[in-house]
Chains A and B, each alone.
Chain A
Amino acid sequence: MKKIMTIAAVIVAAGFVTSAAAQELTGTLKKVKETGSFTVGYRESSIPFSYLDDKQQPIGYAMELCMRVVDAVKADLKMPGLKVNLQPVTSSNRIPLLQNGTIDMECGSTTNSVQRQQQVSFGPTYFVINVTAAVKKNSGINTFADLNGKTVSTTSGTTSVPLIKAYEKTKDVAVKEIYGKDHAESFLLLADDRASAFIMDDILLAGQIANSKDPAAYKILPESLRQEPYSMMLRKDDPQFKALVDKTVGAIMKSGEIDKIYAKWFTSPIPPKGINMNFPMTPPIREAFKNPNDKGVQ
């Protein structure tokens, strides 16, 4: 039901945005018009969504989609010289920084959840992940149940934190959690044997592993704690800007252009080290591209 409504919203929005210039601006677009600048929040180690290359510039799959939105904002407001600021954020400060106006849109690896939708709004789902664990191959850990009594690392502020707690409760498994401030730090705790597993979204784990000194030493467990959609995060109650985002990203998905962008980041070598994520499109991702929607996970 919600999906249908979202699609309806996109269609309505498509007609609505074209006439936005004639309409009175509200929300983010109004602010952008007045201040002449737009701020994109990015992540520093969410490979390959949003991360720093060797020149410390943010790049990635999410960044590429967001920059298309920025282009659309420029065109819509007829402001080709719009100043675009880039602001690094973390899992734990991205929501307050969006709410308090520090950033206007977050482009990274943010799970679209129903709970978060009470605080913020999301663009169309651009990726679907499974929350799982990375372990060292020589650790002998093959399932989540093997983690009983072990130490696991995760990144504070992510949806993995409550998921682990819920899993412990339902499966009667006890683990000790340690928190990294960002994915790189959480992974480091695993690499250093300080934690037996790093519990996080599969694609982010794959990114950290691919970027590590010895990628062959790690593996990702086949189990999944939950499937979650990713999207860019926008301020809540800002229909004009959301419509523009939905229309822009939705068009990329519908036209099939998304396949090229996806291939560039997930099945080809990416900067800075030329690693290849080798992560072909899964059925849920294909489905999300076919029917652009902003449905959150429960």
Chain B
Amino acid sequence: MNFGIFLEQIPDEGIAWWQNLASGLGWTLGTAFFAWILAFTLGSIIGVVRTTDKRWLVRLGDAYVELFRNIPLIVQFFIWYFVVPNVIPAVKAWVIAADPTDFQFLTAIVCLGLFTSARIAEQVRSGIQSLSQGQRNAGYAIGLTQTQTYRYVLLPMAYRIIIPPLTSEVMNLIKNTAVAYSIGLVELFFRTREMAEMTFRYFEVFAAATLIYMLIAFSANRVMAFIERRVAVPGYIGGGK
């Protein structure tokens, strides 16, 4: 066992192995960050839509969630990366012109974003539905429109209630970025494998990756716990702490 390997230079690249892993970590966090913004926005919209009184909107929202929840992530990656450019000529033209790294990055963000948005939509919906009908009625009673009722009454409550499940979705998202290695995105898991293959130090390299992923999970958990404490609703589970 020799952990000094991380300080050694990569042949022909002019940087050390640890810097290569760090750059992978950067891609992992960057992908997760943008995918989360996309997932949170889309997931909120679709989650809300599924609780409105418009039948066709609810159906559409349900269909969206079922579509992205019932296909394995890796298959979704293959679809975005290989199938979509092949069936939509405009995408293909853009892919050929674009920098391949940009395309991999964007594919990963869109794929993970939509995949995660379906899960967030489900949480948002159940969060809103867990509130009593009285809250919605109260909003309407004081003369708020449906949009205003969501904006000022239902959503502020619902989001705070679903912070624990959202925490696991953040962690899942970060972990799921590893699947993006299958389309060649140079994120942490790609760099881990690359380093293991080139240096043959599988044990040390995988141990380091394990440690990094644990640290990310731990930090994500702490950040979400902090947010949870700050916004806790008095009288609700976790709010009394």
Contact = CB atoms under 8 A, between A and B. Distances in A.
B96 A193 contact: yes
Given A156-B194, A162-B198, A194 B12 contact: no
Nearest to A91: B197
Interface residues of B, number: 22
B45 to A, nearest CB: 32
B152 interface: no
Contact of A165 (B12, B100, B200): B12
B53 interface: no
A181 B202 contact: no
Interface in A182-220: 188, 192-195
A194 B95 contact: yes
Contact of B11 (A95, A162, A178): A162
A227 interface: no
B9 to A, nearest CB: 13
B184 interface: yes
Given A162-B11, A181-B182, A192 B100 contact: no
A233 to B, nearest CB: 13
B96 A179 contact: no
Given A92-B197, A157-B197, A166-B12, A194 B96 contact: yes
B139 interface: no
B85 interface: yes
Nearest to A120: B200
A95 B100 CA distance: 29
Contacts of B101: 176
Contacts of A195: 100
Contacts, number: 45
Interface residues of A, number: 23
Given A92-B193, A151-B100, A181-B182, A162 B202 contact: no
A100 B91 CA distance: 43
A169 interface: yes
Contacts of B96: 193-194
B197 A178 contact: no
Given A176-B101, A194-B95, A165 B184 contact: no
Contacts of A37: none
Contacts of A178: 100, 104, 184
A92 B198 CA distance: 9
Given A176-B99, A180-B184, A192 B86 contact: yes
Given A156-B184, A166-B12, A176-B100, 16 more contacts: A92-B197, A95-B197, A119-B200, A151-B99, A151-B100, A156-B197, A157-B197, A162-B12, A162-B198, A165-B13, A176-B99, A176-B101, A178-B100, A179-B184, A188-B82, A192-B85
Interface of A: 92, 95-96, 118-119, 151, 156-157, 161-162, 165-166, 169, 176, 178-181, 188, 192-195
Interface of B: 11-13, 82, 85-86, 92, 95-96, 99-101, 104, 182, 184, 193-194, 196-198, 200, 202
20 contacts: A92-B193, A92-B197, A96-B196, A96-B202, A119-B200, A151-B100, A156-B194, A156-B197, A162-B198, A165-B12, A166-B12, A169-B12, A178-B100, A178-B104, A180-B184, A192-B85, A192-B92, A193-B92, A194-B85, A194-B95
